[in-house]
Structure 1
């Protein structure tokens, strides 16, 4: 998936939200529900995209680094939810607001894409992750406040930076070939 693919996804998401910006019953506009649903999808789409990118690049070390960073993100997020027991701002009696799990998941995927494969991929990924954060505060129910999504983003980015280094292709290659009674050994080094 190239940088243009991620940019097209950003444009599509923004246009689809704009298309549904009509009033509905209950004082909420349709775009608010679309925004909420979009955030729900992107929270998983970004880490899955990061995993697919590791497979496309045949970057199996990156796959392992993504697994470590994403597992750390989830462990920290749900541990803090259990420890802090902050009440959700929308009024329900749920005490699992801090930090935002959707946001930490999205920023874990986005920061992995940026850290491993560069800013050409990272900028669109961060835009989509930011859309998830906005969806958690501005959707009809307003599941989180600024500090919840800020902490989720910090956890996602921080855990990625602990485990992930920029991707470098193999610089050396050793090859062997035989044809009839001729054998050859090749050694290639890229600068």
Structure 2
């Protein structure tokens, strides 16, 4: 039942963005919500309550920071509108993408980063933002994801070591 309500809420949310002037702009409008919703959905499906909490901290911090900056800086958009800096669409998209990468690794993160990058590009292409706005939104979201999110599961790392007598070796670290 909960999964059905979750899916219905996402679908209803997407249908409200049909007013965009181009297909690519519509992609950006939908992608800003779809990427974080998919990220949360993956954690929820896996029963990863700790991950959901971390994602919540990250996306709430991202949203608060973006809103404070939009209202403080109040930069003019390429289309003449206000509150251009930073891009909220891009921040939300990168919040989901960077969370997936940090929490579950590059196999989840890379496709999400590609999708989030396309959201940012759509905002520049539609004259809603400058590249600086998009880069700032992505950086804010990624920074908070790295701050609040820890990798799930065992992590394996190799690193160079120096030992007594100029001996060199390779160290191994496993975190679980």
Q: What does 1:13-92 correspond to in 2, within 5 Å?
A: 33-91=22-80
Which entry has the higher C-alpha Rg, 1 or 2?
A: 1
Query: Counterpart in 1 of 2:135?
Result: 150
Q: Which runs of 5+ in 1 are unaligned?
A: 1-31, 170-190
Query: For the residues of structure 1 that align with 2:136 and 2:150, how far apart are their CA atoms?
Result: 22
Asked if 1:108 is matched to 2:92, the reply is: no
TM-score (ref. length: structure 2): 0.74
Q: Please tell me whether residue 127 in structure 1 is matched to residue 114 in structure 2.
A: yes
Partner Cα distance (1:160, 1:59) in 2: 16
Q: Which residue among 108, 118, 128 is the counterpart of 2:105?
A: 118
The number of residue pairs the alignment matches comes to 135
Give structure 2 stretches of 5+ with no counterpart.
1-20, 155-175
Q: What TM-score do the two structures reach when normalised by structure 1? A: 0.68
Q: CA deviation at 1:73?
A: 0.4
> Which residue does 2:170 correspond to in 1?
none
Deviations 1:43-102 (A, max 9, x none): 0001111111111111100010010000000000000001101111112xx320000000
CA distance in 1, matches of 2:27, 2:102: 24
Which residue is 1:160 aligned to? 145
Regions of 4+ moved over 3 Å: none
Q: Hey, what's the Cα distance between the residues in 1 that align with 2:47 and 2:22?
A: 38
Aligned Cα root-mean-square deviation (Å)? 1.3
